Amino acid sequence: MNSAQERIIELTQQLNYHSQKYYVEDAPEISDYEYDALLRELENLETEYPEYKRFDSPTQRVGGTPVDKFDTVVHDVPMESLQDAFDESEIEDFDKRVQNVVGKVKYVVEHKIDGLSVSLEYRNGRFVRGSTRGDGTLGEDVTQNLKTIKSIPMLLSEQVEYLEVRGEVFMAKDTFIKLNIMREAQEEPPFANPRNAAAGSLRQLDPKIAAERKLDIFVFNIQQIEGKQIKSHLEALNYLKHLGFKVIPNNTLYPDIKSAYNRVLDIGEERGDLYFDIDGAVIKVNDFAFRHQLGSTSKFPRWAIAYKFPAERQKTIVEDIIVQVGRTGALTPLAVLSPVRIAGSTVSRATLHNVDYINEKDIRIGDTVIIQKAGDIIPEVVGVDKSLRSGNEQNFTMPEHCLECGALVVREEGEAAYRCTGVNCPAQRLRHIIHFVSRNAMDIDGLGSSIIEQMLDRNLIETAADLYYLNAEQIAEMDKMGEKSANNLLNALERSKSNSLYRLINAFGIRHIGEKASKILAKEYKTLDNLRSALAEELVLIDDIGEIMAQEIVGFFAEPQNIAFIEKLKKAGVNCIDVESDETAELIFAGTTFVLTGTLTKYTRADATEIIENLGGRTSSSVSKKTTYVLAGKEAGSKLDKANKLGVRVISEDEFEKLIKGEIL
């Protein structure tokens, strides 16, 4: 064994130990900086010596190759659902049924995590497969996505012959809130609650997306085990904890149903203070022999029951209705409430969503309203007690100008939201800059959202145009940057100045104007100044440019903030001419359709698509008889199989490069 291999083993073991302390035991021993330094060293060694990369390397958790679909998994032991109870009498009836079969028993009470139930399988201590519950009998293989969850051990502390456990994948409340803020910044619809966010993340075909979502898990049951005898649920939980799993917290044995039910009520009082979301508590018979005697109905195990908590509601008074400008420019009315305690915290504000919501429920300033927390997290007004009106209540109207920047507020036909039209609006800065630097816009590598937030917090920039006026010293002083990273970022900014005009148009973030429309406008008008002078009447004459799009374009270039923004970009040297609009350029891919599949090593999919489209071709997501070429990378899946079946020409990246040069294959 050479020194590189020894160091890779040492680093892998160290990092896995510290991951266990951080993600499972909540007892970190080193700082994030120290952990990241060790991880970078391991990544560099694995790049240089890939043959020594270990199965349980933490670098494997960043997400593997995207899949076309999830394979079906048959659950040998059905993943049953639980019978629900909603009051104490139903809990008492459950206990009577248990005692009628097996006599007096002891119970374990657990939080009922509001997430997505999964199965984890291990052979000889190694994680081999993970699947969703599905319908309880058939689930989906989501192994690659589950590998990205850092609280799931890849290697157990003992080499158990075979082990299948059941757990609940969830998203922490603060992670959920941050994810929705980011989705809003990227103009994506927010998730309704943490459970939907967790389920949507785990079922992503691209594991890298799942990795970004920072999911977590609690393991709560042994489904199957070989090579060891376990006699009770509490023993099983302790053993699972010993193996390295993150198990349901605060497990205690209760001697009777009364004490178990009291614990259920305590959990109900605590749920607002938990960092994870629950929708109830579960009471389980502890002894496995008794469980075996009790068995299951066609739907539920007879040895467990779930007590479901109702959504807590309270009454309070709307003292005022104010408007908050979101990062997408949407104006959201908020109710300022007389403070009230609900679901474990004091609430003084609640979202009113939009004007239509206010009108539908007839919410007025001074009203007594009923509020609850959606998913026990986000306060919302669910109704008005009109019987308590005095006649002094006031109706709410949306402002005509943005309260943050003074730009005009508009509401498009068919939309519920009012929006600010100012590109320099302080409330929208982060969203605008994230979009401006994104891959399909100016494609500035090294500018992630956390770096942009730092720049805004330090007042280094106000708009994306200010990025081109930064110096190396300012960048190097930021967290996790340094001299090398600063120079790399400045080089990326300099390269972006010569980007195609369509990228700049797309980077403006004009509503309804995406990459395709930006290419059409760049080709039609040739320069940014020409486009700025265009009238709506002439824009609508262009194919694929509709009336609403035309109005958005004209309105964008008429806004004083946006004019100043563009002038600052021009002064910095950003290209404003369509250098790719030479009509004499040979469109060698004209009339051809490409399908991309597998992992490309020489190009990103976005780069390959751009090359194909610039040379007159088009791309498709599915293979058909009309497909001209399938460009296949490593680990190509069903699309490659279909191409071979239909006789469609399959080409490698080397052959693709020959086509680009005009060579005949």
- Name residues whose C-beta falls within 8 Å of residue 316's C-beta, 6 or more positions apart in sequence: 337, 338, 339, 340, 347, 368, 369, 371
Percentage above 70 pLDDT, the chain: 94
Collapsing DSSP states into helix, strand and coil, what is residue 219? Answer: strand
Both tokens assigned to 53: 């990369």
Confirm if 314 and 371 have CB atoms less than 8 A apart. yes
Q: If you average pLDDT over residues 323-348, what whole number do you get?
A: 82
Half-sphere exposure of residue 488, counting CA atoms within 13 Å on the CB side? 8
Give the pLDDT of residue 584: 42
Give the pLDDT of residue 636: 82
β-pair type (649-651, 629-632): parallel
Looking at the predicted structure, is the pLDDT value of residue 220 above 50?
Answer: yes
Considering Cα of 447, then 448, then 453, then 458, what sign does the dihedral take? negative
The domain segmentation of the chain, as residue ranges, is: 3-60, 84-308, 313-388, 426-572, 593-660
Looking at the predicted structure, is the pLDDT value of residue 601 above 90?
Answer: no
- Return the DSSP state at 317: E
3-60 matches 84-308 in fold? no
Q: How confident is residue 345, by pLDDT bands cut at 50, 70 and 90?
A: low
Collapsing DSSP states into helix, strand and coil, what is residue 123? Answer: strand
Looking at the predicted structure, is the pLDDT value of residue 585 above 60?
Answer: no
Percentage above 90 pLDDT, the chain: 45
Tens of pLDDT, residues 378-415? 788 989 999 999 999 999 999 988 888 888 888 877 67
Give the pLDDT of residue 98: 97
Q: How confident is residue 377, by pLDDT bands cut at 50, 70 and 90?
A: low
Looking at the predicted structure, is the pLDDT value of residue 583 above 50?
Answer: no
Give the pLDDT of residue 122: 97
The number of residues making up the chain comes to: 665
Give the pLDDT of residue 625: 87
CA distance 491 to 270: 52
- Which residue is associated with the tokens 């709410």? 396
From 61-75, 86-100, 212-226, 342-356, the region with the lowest mean pLDDT: 61-75
From 117-121, 269-273, 459-463, the region with the lowest mean pLDDT: 269-273
Confirm if 195 and 177 have CB atoms less than 8 A apart. no
- Residue that wins the pLDDT comparison between 317 and 374: 317
Give the pLDDT of residue 411: 84
Tens of pLDDT, residues 349-376? 888 988 999 999 999 999 999 998 755 5
Tens of pLDDT, residues 149-200? 999 999 999 999 999 999 999 999 889 888 887 777 666 777 877 888 898 8
Q: Which fold has domain 313-388?
A: OB fold (Dihydrolipoamide Acetyltransferase, E2P) (2.40.50)
Give the pLDDT of residue 326: 72
Amino acid at 660: I
Measure the CA dihedral 513/518/519/523, to 10°.
Answer: 120
The winner for highest mean pLDDT among 11-15, 51-55, 189-193, 262-266 is 262-266
Looking at the predicted structure, is the pLDDT value of residue 315 above 70?
Answer: yes
Q: How confident is residue 579, by pLDDT bands cut at 50, 70 and 90?
A: low
Confirm if 313 and 372 have CB atoms less than 8 A apart. yes
Q: If you average pLDDT over residues 8-37, what whole number do you get?
A: 79
Tens of pLDDT, residues 616-629? 788 888 888 889 99
Q: How confident is residue 582, by pLDDT bands cut at 50, 70 and 90?
A: very low
Tens of pLDDT, residues 626-636? 899 999 988 78
Give the pLDDT of residue 66: 60
From 100-109, 163-172, 537-546, the region with the lowest mean pLDDT: 537-546
Q: Which fold has domain 3-60?
A: Helix Hairpins (1.10.287)
Name the residue among 354, 471, 458, 369 with its Cα closest to residue 415: 354
Q: Which of 96, 112, 173, 639 is catalytic?
A: 112
First to last CA, the chain: 46
Name the residue among 81, 60, 68 with its Cα closest to residue 16: 60
Considering Cα of 443, then 444, then 450, then 456, what sign does the dihedral take? negative
Phi, psi (deg, nearest 5) at residue 451: -65, -45
Give the pLDDT of residue 15: 85
Is 626 labeled as catalytic in the residue annotation? no
Q: What CATH architecture applies to the domain 84-308?
A: 2-Layer Sandwich (3.30)
| CATH of the domain spanning 593-660, picked from 3.30.1360.70, 3.40.50.2300, 3.40.50.10190, 3.40.50.970 | 3.40.50.10190
Q: What CATH architecture applies to the domain 426-572?
A: Orthogonal Bundle (1.10)
Give the pLDDT of residue 12: 87
Distance of CA 247 to the CA centre of its chain: 24
Give the pLDDT of residue 250: 84
In whole numbers, what is the pLDDT of the chain averaged over residues?
87
Name the residue among 268, 255, 221 with its Cα closest to residue 88: 268
Give the pLDDT of residue 51: 84
